[in-house]
Chain A
Amino acid sequence: MQRIGVFVCHCGSNIAATVDVKKVVEMVKTEPGVIHAEDYQYMCSEAGQAKIIEAVKEHKLNGLVVCSCSPRMHEATFRKCAERAGINPYMVEIANIREHCSWIHKDMDEATEKAVILARAAIAKVNLNAPLQAGESGVVKRALVIGGGIAGIQTALDIADAGFPVDIVEKEPSIGGRMSQLDKTFPTLDCSACILTPKMVEAAAHPNITIHTYSEVENVSGFVGNFTVEIRKKARSIDMDKCTGCGLCQEKCPMKKTPSEFNRGLGNRSAIYTPFAQAIPNVPVIDRNACLKFKTGKCGICSTVCAAGAIDYTQVDTMVTEKYGAIVVATGFDMIKLDKYDEYAYSQSKDVITSLELERVMNAAGPTKGHLERLSDGKAPKEIVFIQCVGSRCADGRGKGYCSKICCMYTAKHAMLIRDKYPDVNVTVFYIDVRTPGKNFDEFYRRAVENYGVNYVKGQVGKVIPQPDGKLLVQGVDLIDNKQILKEADMVVLAAAIEPNPDVRKIATMLTASIDNDNFLTEAHAKLRPVESPTAGIFLSGVCQGPKDIPETVAQAGAAAVKAIGLLAKDKLMTNPCTAKSDELLCNGCSKCANVCPYGAISYEVKEINDHGIRETRRVAQVNNALCQGCGACTVACPSGAMDLQGFSNRQIIAEVDAICR
């Protein structure tokens, strides 16, 4: 039997206002193994911890139960406290009577009853706890950044500057991401390419950065400090070492009618292409679905004109396997599909475009060479209507519940740029709210309204109807004047919601990093650990974690880099001693545990087993404690119950359940 001390925290009034802490102390005193119980206002404070240490000494305690906040907050604190008191840190259990109890109950009697039950469960577990010793594991001093947009580039640069090698994996033929598609950036209106390109060049030239473009992460194994990642480098059909980037192949390619992804399908590209002029690396790829050589076997012009002899039609995908200590996810976003919003006639009229498409239209390198024109007939528009929140803040389930955050600002930017360059064009913006928190953001929006005469209408648009004469009839409502608006427009621009890159689900699964209902990666703590995934060693950079503009993205990218550097700077990590253990007397050697182990920690050995005097040579499972991360998958896969998790054994968990159900 253990000698257990129970310490009930008031957490100021957080717990004590809803839970009768004195009663909890009284109730748990009679539980098996409990020698001592007391309450205190702030158990985590110096004074509180001193009380614990004192009680351990006075009552010769060897197990502790702290009834307090979530173990995610202070389990480490109390484990260290136990160590100072001379007890093994794994003899401490936390009963979460704050998040799981006081914060969610209003009735004091109910909350107190539940607090007692949670304490009993923890006491039942401590009664079966055994001291555990943490081991050590090394750290591979190399980081992986998944995604080569501004977030990924910034994170990689910061990690590389700190002296650690970084690999960027980008699935497109060039790094640059969404930012490379933008024309100007708010709130300063400087050209996106002008500020992004130097960063791209810096990343490419950095001795510590390796860039894998046209590549995807295929498999991830391992754990914090020791990830093994398989990267698929898709066949580019170009020898990157030989190509000089002269561009002749693209000029001569006969297949020039392929929709350009970079221009959002508004313009065309050749089958052999670099997505944009400043692409890094400046090495084209052959789109095998569009290339005549791959489709019919005839052509081969690019190969003929290439003076460097860089074209290689026989290239195949290659796999690169690399070890990393830390992984940063920077997979970014895309615009939502608008098929559920056809009241805005996006599929019916070429003159209804998304804001990102407008960026391409306004860009000098875009499909119209920067001239603002209707894509249907090339005429200059006179009336432009912007519709905000298309799929954002959506309550009817068609779109996203969240605010996409960047649309108010980029629409103000678009409106201002149009009014500046084409003062004869009328611009109307339909909005629900204009949200402009951020340094110099509201001033920017006020300028659009006050200096540039942009017509902001509070209200939503119900329908856009293409007219026989090519105009667009916009039916909207002005909520301030309380009247219906019918407006003929030449162009309609939709501020479509942004959503995480669809690939993130696959990547999150590989990384065992959790994602929310909207596919944004979740942070370890919304306020206090915003750039870390709950999965150790995985960090979050940019919009993959939530909607952000460029300044915020760059700030978060730096923060993610700092966290990754903090990890890479360590030589050793303490390993979790709560690892799986196989009972050789029960093990069938069936391999089910090895099948489910995500860390490859289980192997098999044929050895002689002495089962109470009966000797038999057979196949049994062995757990490598350095690799095991204590996920417990093997314990539930094991048909005979031979696998058990130290610190979370089946007996301990059943004891907790029994204590709760008593």
Chain B
Amino acid sequence: MQKIVERAKELLADGTVNRVLGWKKGDMCFNPEPAFFETAEDLDENFVYGGFCGANLSKYMIDASKLEGKTLVLLKPCDTYSFNQLINEHRVDREKAYIIGVGCKGKLNIETIKQSGVKGILNITENGDMLNIETLYGNTEMKYSDALLERCHVCKGKEHKIYDELIGESQDTSDRERFAEVEKIEKMSPEEKFAFFQKELSKCIRCNACRNVCPACSCRKCVFDSTKFDSSQKANTDSFEEKMFHIIRAFHVAGRCTDCGECSRVCPQGIPLHLFNRKFIKDINEFYGEYQAGADVDAKGPLTEYTFGDCEPSIVKERG
């Protein structure tokens, strides 16, 4: 972390960048939040980079691209896919970004720690492969790898797809089959599927956190906020959330979603929203060949490119 701060201060000082987009300390040790820093003092005082800095900063670059001068942005390996996708869609300006690829050994999920029975958390410190947890009821510890976010178990690897320079080591933390959960749901009967999704989606309070954090959901005016479309809805007045909202959102980001997992990370209700997107990704892979959005900045994407090799619509129909 200190290296990042030193380098950021250098780049601010020599005028390469006008501001730094990183994470600042939150009110608790486990909720740092994205922030812009314009001075060395601010960096020294408030900047933080650690296991809880899961937030993907790519989307903030849409607004930062409109600001004067360059912005130094810190991207973890998986964040760079989102950034590439945004370049592809002309939503961010590569010239306005100075990208430092920061090391990542997997990011932590406070909910996983809490669910393991730890209560009254005061502070969590990283100690090699372990986490030392101070609580109101004494100290405890937990393996770092047991507290990872879901997305880190299906890690995309330690390679940064786009950067100006790299600081720190990364680790590939994948230890689960990416589509295992999707396959489990695919095997359910239609009634079971409906019951499963109804149970999950009925928790939705329509806080829009998933949409607001999603780097693919970057429309200037969201269809859910626009009176031009009949889909404009207030929260939780009917079964819209259960039946439509998340499905529509999944369709809107299909073929563009990098599977960054931010939607599930930020959902206050713990809905596994990434499953929708991952089902789309799995289908796209099966129908059109392996595709990872954001891996190639110039890719047209399987859903907006027509080739003679595309599967016939009848195959899609047969598969359902």
**Which A residues form the contact surface with B (CB < 8 A)?**
506, 509, 583, 585-592, 595-596, 598, 604, 616, 619, 637, 639-641, 650-651, 654
Contacts and interface: CB of A to CB of B under 8 A. Distances in A.
A590 B88 CA distance: 8
B309 to A, nearest CB: 11
B234 interface: no
Nearest to B253: A639
B90 A640 contact: no
B304 interface: yes
A588 B218 contact: yes
Nearest to B312: A505
15 contacts: A585-B220, A586-B220, A586-B221, A586-B226, A586-B228, A588-B90, A588-B91, A592-B89, A595-B301, A595-B304, A596-B304, A640-B223, A641-B223, A650-B229, A651-B230
Contact of B219 (A506, A588, A654): A588
Given A589-B90, A590-B90, A650-B229, A640 B221 contact: yes
Interface in B299-316: 300-301, 303-306, 308
A619 B220 CA distance: 12
Given A589-B90, A654-B230, A640 B308 contact: no
Interface in B204-246: 218-223, 226, 228-230
B143 interface: no
Contacts of A639: 219, 252-253, 256
Contacts of B66: 616
B215 to A, nearest CB: 12
Given A590-B90, A650-B229, A509 B221 contact: no
A604 B89 CA distance: 12
Contacts of A590: 89-91
Given A592-B304, A654-B230, 20 more contacts: A583-B228, A586-B219, A587-B220, A588-B89, A588-B218, A589-B90, A590-B89, A590-B91, A591-B88, A595-B301, A595-B305, A596-B304, A596-B305, A598-B306, A616-B66, A640-B221, A641-B226, A641-B229, A650-B229, A651-B230
Contacts of B301: 595
Contacts of A595: 300-301, 304-305
Contacts of B223: 640-641
Contacts of B308: 506, 509
A619 B66 CA distance: 12
A400 B234 CA distance: 56
B317 to A, nearest CB: 14
A585 B228 CA distance: 11
Contacts of A592: 89, 304
A654 B219 CA distance: 22
Nearest to A509: B308
A591 B256 CA distance: 13
B221 to A, nearest CB: 5
Q: What band does the interface of chain B fall in when counting residues whose beta carbon is under 8 Å from A?
A: 20 to 34
Contacts of B228: 583, 586, 641
A637 B90 contact: no
A585 B227 CA distance: 13
A69 B252 CA distance: 37
A637 to B, nearest CB: 6
A589 B88 CA distance: 11
A516 to B, nearest CB: 13
A651 B223 CA distance: 13
Question: A585, A637, A641 — which one has the most chain B CB atoms within 10 A of its CB?
Answer: A641
A654 B91 CA distance: 29
User: Taking chain B's interface residues, is the majority helix, strand, or loop, or is none over half, making it mixed?
Assistant: loop
Nearest to A594: B304
Contacts of B256: 639
A583 B226 CA distance: 13
Interface in B32-64: none
Nearest to B229: A641
The 7 lowest CB-CB distance pairs between A and B, nearest first, are: A590-B89, A640-B219, A595-B304, A596-B304, A589-B90, A641-B223, A595-B300
Contacts of A651: 230
Given A650-B229, A654-B230, A640 B89 contact: no
Contacts of B222: 640
A639 B221 CA distance: 10
A467 B228 CA distance: 79
A619 B229 contact: no
Question: A506, A585, A592, A604 — which one has the most chain B CB atoms within 10 A of its CB?
Answer: A592
A641 B89 CA distance: 15
Nearest to A593: B304
Contacts of A591: 88-90
Interface in B239-261: 252-253, 256
Contacts of B89: 588, 590-592
B221 A585 contact: yes
B296 to A, nearest CB: 14
A509 B226 CA distance: 37
A546 B124 CA distance: 75
Nearest to A650: B229
Given A589-B90, A591-B90, A637 B218 contact: no
Given A595-B300, A639-B252, A641-B228, A588 B305 contact: no
Nearest to A639: B252
A654 B228 CA distance: 12
Nearest to A641: B223
Question: B66, B221, B305 — which one has the most chain A CB atoms within 10 A of its CB?
Answer: B221
A509 B91 CA distance: 32
A585 B218 CA distance: 14
Contacts of B229: 641, 650
Interface in B274-289: none
A148 B253 CA distance: 47
Contacts of A654: 230
A651 B231 CA distance: 11
A640 B220 contact: yes
A425 B226 CA distance: 84
Nearest to A640: B219
A598 B304 CA distance: 11
A588 B304 contact: no
Contacts of A589: 90-91
Contacts of B305: 595-596
A641 to B, nearest CB: 5
A595 B229 CA distance: 24
Contacts of B303: 637
Nearest to A604: B90
A356 to B, nearest CB: 28
Nearest to A617: B66
Interface in B173-203: none
A275 to B, nearest CB: 27
B230 A619 contact: no
A650 B228 CA distance: 10
Contacts of A586: 219-221, 226, 228
Nearest to A510: B308
A302 to B, nearest CB: 35
Given A509-B308, A639-B256, A654-B230, A588 B300 contact: no
B226 A588 contact: no
A637 B221 contact: no
A593 to B, nearest CB: 9
A388 B220 CA distance: 66
A84 to B, nearest CB: 35
Interface string B59-96: 00000001000000000000000000000111100000
A308 to B, nearest CB: 39
B318 to A, nearest CB: 15
A640 B252 CA distance: 8
Nearest to B90: A589
A582 to B, nearest CB: 13
B230 A588 contact: no
A345 to B, nearest CB: 34
B197 to A, nearest CB: 22
Contacts of B306: 596, 598
A583 B305 CA distance: 23
